[in-house]
């Protein structure tokens, strides 16, 4: 197995885990705020996203983007055919877009840490976070699928 | 614990959780079994077939643990909505089974990627 294939496989694995986490947050975790209320959900988020999440999510997010960019750079350095460089370039672009959406989403979540337990204020913040999270989850899932495509054509 | 249980019942046991987890879990297992059957009947070479059989085995284990241990443990919290100690015991037990399931998940994902890689070059 060449270094390029190893890097694509590793990038696919990490992006796959992140896609799963993002999908779970968008479809299972965040909708729960409508059933238990924003104050209760914010208490959960302070213990979860702002607890272990502060270590796990950035590690996975930054790791996935870096590995994708590295795999793409390696493919270009090895003069990979267009069939491979195209999906890898697309995956890199999607990773950058995911990073951009995270830059918009993360401060909203971080601001919940010290926000007062005000239902209206927290609803506003969580709704805003949910919108940006939906955007980044879409980019992340697409990046994972495109990396799988790259792995198959390789 | 009472607050976490309220969240958990709204998330994992809510519509999104039930649809996503049950849907992905069932589809994943069925697809793995179909792929294993195809590998068996087409008499694939061991290079391709071994990771397929391994992944299917992990899927079956994952589903057995989910159906006989993890899911019933999580569902039992409905009987103790206000009992802090009972809920703590339930979530501790669920956490142990969830750790085993995560290990299975990672092994399934790893062996699936391994299968794909056997077709590279």
One DSSP character per residue, A109-142 reads: HHHHTT--S-HHHHHHHHHHHHHHHHHHHHHHHH
Looking at residue B44, its pLDDT comes to 94
Degrees, nearest 5: CA angle B119-A141-B71: 90
- Whole-angstrom distance, CA of residue A7 vs CA of residue A150: 11
Average pLDDT over residues A125-144: 98
Query: Does residue B121 carry a pLDDT above 70?
Result: no
> Which of B3, B21, B120 lies nearest to residue A151, judging by beta carbons?
B120
With contact defined as beta carbons under 8 Å apart, do B52 and B36 qualify?
yes
Cβ contact, residue pair B117, A1, below 8 Å: yes
Query: Does residue A124 carry a pLDDT above 90?
Result: yes
Average pLDDT over residues A60-83: 95
Looking at residue A2, its pLDDT comes to 81
Question: What residues of A are in contact with residue B109 (Cβ under 8 Å)?
Answer: 13, 16-17
Cβ contact, residue pair B3, A1, below 8 Å: no
Residue of chain A whose Cα is closest to the Cα of B16: A28
Cβ contact, residue pair A27, B120, below 8 Å: no
> Which of A41, A47, A151 lies nearest to residue B116, judging by beta carbons?
A151
Q: Dump pLDDT digits (tens) for B26-50.
A: 999 999 999 999 999 999 999 999 9
B83 or A143, greater pLDDT = A143
Q: Dump pLDDT digits (tens) for A8-48.
A: 999 999 999 999 999 999 999 999 999 999 999 999 999 99
Q: Hunting for tokens 């506003």 — which residue is that?
A: A124
Mean pLDDT for chain A overall: 95
Query: Does residue A154 carry a pLDDT above 80?
Result: no
Which H or E element spans position A58?
helix A53-77
Query: Does residue B82 carry a pLDDT above 90?
Result: no
Looking at residue A115, its pLDDT comes to 96
Question: What residues of A are in contact with residue B15 (Cβ under 8 Å)?
Answer: 31
> What is the band of B1 on the pLDDT scale with cuts at 50, 70, 90?
confident
Mean pLDDT for chain B overall: 93
Cβ contact, residue pair A28, B16, below 8 Å: yes
Chain A CB within 8 Å of residue B72 CB: no
- Cα distances (Å, whole numbers) of residue B60 to B50, B85, B105, B107: 15, 33, 11, 12
Whether this model's ipTM surpasses 0.85 comes out as: no
> What is the band of A1 on the pLDDT scale with cuts at 50, 70, 90?
low
Residue of chain B whose Cα is closest to the Cα of A6: B117
Q: Dump pLDDT digits (tens) for B14-31.
A: 888 889 999 999 999 999
Looking at residue A101, its pLDDT comes to 97
Question: What residues of B are in contact with residue A21 (Cβ under 8 Å)?
Answer: none
Looking at residue B117, its pLDDT comes to 87
Query: Does residue A57 carry a pLDDT above 70?
Result: yes
Domain boundaries, chain B: 2-118
B116 or B95, greater pLDDT = B95
């Amino acid at each position: 197995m060449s270094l390029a294939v190893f890097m694509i496989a590793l990038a696919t694995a990490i992006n796959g885990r992140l896609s799963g986490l993002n999908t779970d947050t968008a479809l299972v975790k965040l909708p729960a705020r409508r059933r238990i209320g924003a104050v209760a959900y914010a208490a959960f988020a302070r213990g979860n996203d702002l607890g272990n999440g502060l270590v796990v999510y950035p590690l996975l997010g930054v790791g996935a983007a870096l590995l994708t960019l590295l795999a793409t750079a390696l493919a270009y350095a090895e003069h990979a055919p267009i069939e491979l460089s195209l999906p890898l370039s697309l995956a890199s672009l999607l990773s950058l877009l995911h990073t951009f959406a995270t830059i918009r989403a993360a401060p909203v979540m971080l601001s919940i840490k010290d926000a007062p337990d005000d239902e209206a204020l927290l609803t506003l913040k969580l709704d805003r976070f949910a919108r940006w999270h939906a955007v980044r989850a879409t980019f992340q899932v697409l990046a994972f699928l495109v990396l799988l495509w790259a792995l198959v054509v390789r | 614990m009472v607050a976490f249980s309220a969240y958990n019942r709204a998330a994992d046991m809510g519509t999104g959780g039930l649809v996503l987890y049950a849907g992905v879990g069932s589809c994943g297992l069925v697809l793995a079994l179909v792929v294993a059957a195809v590998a068996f009947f087409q008499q694939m070479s061991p290079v391709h077939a071994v990771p397929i059989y391994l992944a299917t085995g992990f899927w079956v284990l994952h589903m057995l643990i989910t159906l006989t241990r993890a899911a019933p443990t999580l569902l039992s919290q409905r009987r103790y909505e206000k009992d802090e100690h009972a809920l703590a015991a339930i979530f501790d037990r669920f956490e142990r089974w969830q750790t085993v399931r995560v290990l299975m998940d990672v092994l399934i994902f790893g062996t699936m990627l391994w299968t794909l890689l056997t077709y590279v070059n």
